[in-house]
Chains A and B, each alone.
Chain A
Amino acid sequence: MDEYYLYTFASTHAAIQTEKLLKPAESRIMPVPRFISASCGIAVVIKPCNREKAEAIFKAESNLSENEYAYYHIKKGTILAD
């Protein structure tokens, strides 16, 4: 898993809800990587091929406000800015 898109959340409930919401985009979950946060948390992972689908669903259907989640593009264990 060299490259992926990652959502992290302020709450565990938001993580579980988002995973379900993004199932059509083959959402997966993993522990929040250590290089993002030392605290325990559920992150939702999206493969690059499903990125557009996931972003469209998330934009249209998620009711999370901007301070309730963060979105990352990860490549080889590094956060890319985009």
Chain B
Amino acid sequence: MRIDAIGKQCPIPVIMAKKELDAGVQDLEIIVDGQTQVDNLARLGDSVGRPVTAEAFEGKMLVKFANGETAKVEGDGSAMCATANDTYAVFFNKASVGSGDDELGLSLAKMAIFTLSESEKLPSYVLFMNGGVKLTTGIEPQIVENLQTMIDKGTKVLVCGTCLNFFGVKDELKVGTVSNMYDILGAMQEVGKVITL
């Protein structure tokens, strides 16, 4: 059985999944928007003894519950939702980490993105505005590779289209989704904290 929970925010996907798990449904899959929802479903899966695996699927995430008996857990599952503090976004507003020296800043940005891509707790979003959008245009292949790794694991990469346009590099975007002020600000409001580097 496959549940479509695209566009659904927590607690809806966990409630939908728990209902089927409690009914003993096997081969249960659910499609959700991104890493936040995957993390919530993973908590649900662990709590009822049906751990999940997740993979990228047509720009969304496909979560599969292991087969087996569902342990009885009270409630509708909404307690599995991450509190807002569990989620975060990383915001690059220049092609640098900090200010002082551009070359050093770019090296630090490369290492920061590498370190994020290897970390166990990935950001829900990586957001690029103003000069930060240059990081997504392939000036450093390493950054493109590492952002793609994060996208494959469920992170969303949003790149300010106005900014790409301003710098004349719209055709050079190598990774991420061209986005706008509404979506980027919406992402910042959705997560528990925004880290500006």
State whether A30 touches B103 (Cβ < 8 A).
Answer: no
State whether B107 touches A29 (Cβ < 8 A).
Answer: yes
State whether B115 touches A31 (Cβ < 8 A).
Answer: yes
Q: Does A75 contact B (CB under 8 A)?
A: no
Q: Does B73 contact A (CB under 8 A)?
A: no
> Nearest Cβ in chain A — how far from B182, in angstroms?
35
Q: Does B196 contact A (CB under 8 A)?
A: no
> Nearest Cβ in chain A — how far from B144, in angstroms?
12
CB contacts under 8 Å to A, within B140-166, are 141-142
State whether B114 touches A30 (Cβ < 8 A).
Answer: yes
Interface size class of B (residues with CB under 8 A): 10 to 19
Report the count of interface residues on A (CB-CB < 8 A).
11
Q: DSSP majority for the B interface?
A: helix
State whether B104 touches A28 (Cβ < 8 A).
Answer: no
Q: Does A16 contact B (CB under 8 A)?
A: yes
> Nearest Cβ in chain B — how far from A41, in angstroms?
10
> Nearest Cβ in chain A — how far from B130, in angstroms?
24
Q: Does A42 contact B (CB under 8 A)?
A: yes
State whether B104 touches A29 (Cβ < 8 A).
Answer: no
Q: Does B48 contact A (CB under 8 A)?
A: no
Q: Which of A1, A16, A30 contacts B104 (CB 8 A)?
A: A16
Q: Which of A12, A15, A26, A28 contacts B114 (CB 8 A)?
A: A28
State whether B142 touches A42 (Cβ < 8 A).
Answer: no
Kindly state the separation between the CA atoms of A12 and B108 in the bound complex, as whole angstroms: 11
> Nearest Cβ in chain B — how far from A45, in angstroms?
9
**Cβ contacts under 8 Å, A31 to chain B:** 111, 114-115
**Cβ contacts under 8 Å, A42 to chain B:** 107, 111
**Cβ contacts under 8 Å, B104 to chain A:** 12, 16
**Cβ contacts under 8 Å, B141 to chain A:** 26
> Nearest Cβ in chain B — how far from A6, in angstroms?
13
A: residues with CB less than 8 A from B are 1, 12, 15-16, 19, 26, 28-31, 42
Q: Can you offer 8 A-B residue contacts whose CB atoms are under 8 A?
A: A1-B118, A16-B103, A26-B141, A28-B110, A29-B114, A30-B111, A42-B107, A42-B111
A16-B104, A31-B114, A42-B111 given; name 5 further pairs at CB < 8 Å: A28-B142, A29-B107, A29-B142, A30-B114, A31-B111
